Amino acid sequence: MTASKTRDIENYFSGFPFETRIMLEQLRKTIQNVAPEAEEMISYRMPAFKLKGMLVWYAGFKNHIGLYPTASPIQFFKDELTSYKYSKGAIQFPLKQPLPLALISKIVEFKVKENLTKKN
């Protein structure tokens, strides 16, 4: 990743309280571990990862961390998401709870496989 992209993401993180920054960094590292070849960027003013198409976006908010993996992973994992607020394309992880990193890893793995197998 280029230095300017790293700065952009670090600048994004710097706008949040310390505890939120820690969670954003945990989420970032989890995605990087699952998809080390993915390109990190800012897209729609949020940190994001791309690998043969967009993988996921994520963002910090006052009371939650948002993960935006598109609709198909949310539909696939909906039974595991019942503890969280979610919609067609977004999942909200409350700041007062630890991030479900194992579930997030599975969601990203699903999205990587989906992107790598889709016809372009």
Q: What is the CATH number of the domain that holds 84?
A: 3.90.1150.200
| pLDDT tens per residue across span 53-72 | 999 999 999 999 999 999 99
Which residues of the chain, if any, have pLDDT below 70? 1-6, 120
Residue 35 lies in a domain: yes
* Interacting residues of 62 by C-beta distance below 8 A, sequence separation 6+: none
Residue 120 lies in a domain: no
Domain count, the chain: 1
* Greatest pairwise CA separation for the chain in angstroms: 41
Residue 20 lies in a domain: yes
pLDDT (0 to 100) of residue 118: 81
pLDDT (0 to 100) of residue 3: 57
Residue 96 lies in a domain: yes
Residue 36 lies in a domain: yes
| pLDDT tens per residue across span 97-108 | 999 999 999 999
pLDDT (0 to 100) of residue 5: 62
* pTM for this entry: 0.92
Kindly compute the dihedral angle of the four CA atoms of residues 106, 109, 113, 114, in this order, to the nearest 10 degrees: 60
Domain range for residue 55?
3-114
Residue 106 lies in a domain: yes
pLDDT (0 to 100) of residue 7: 78
Residue 97 lies in a domain: yes
Residue 119 lies in a domain: no
pLDDT (0 to 100) of residue 4: 60
